[in-house]
Copies of this chain bind each other. A is one copy, B any other.
Amino acid sequence: MKGDAFDPDCPTRLILDRIGDKWSVLVVLGLTGGPRRFTELRGLIGGVTPKVLTQTLRAMERDGLLTRTIFAEVPPRVEYALTPLGASLRRPIEAIAAWAEENVEAVVSARDRHDALA
């Protein structure tokens, strides 16, 4: 931690913005079990619309986090798979997810307590 993440022009911020996208996090988690097709991912990740999923996947492909492979078949088949770079994100992301699961209750009760005296 060199602290330069505070500088808005530091590229590290750029990464935080990408990870800050909740869908990217879920895509990484969704692809940990191996390659998946568009519709598969769409079903796996509840609540994502096709437009936003496309945007997310394109951006992650652009950043080298995953590959997009088109098979010239009918009906069309497109597979998404994590690159080694994308796979290396799993560990920190799972750390966040684990924290979330452990502390959901504390956060929710804090929120309820706060709302109670509002």
Contact = CB atoms under 8 A, between A and B. Distances in A.
Interface in A86-114: 88-89, 91-101, 103-104, 106-111, 113-114
A115 B96 CA distance: 31
A78 interface: no
A51 interface: no
A106 B16 contact: no
Given A6-B30, A110-B85, A100 B63 contact: no
Contacts of A53: none
Interface in A5-62: 5-9, 11-22, 25-26, 29-30, 44-47, 61-62
A2 B92 CA distance: 16
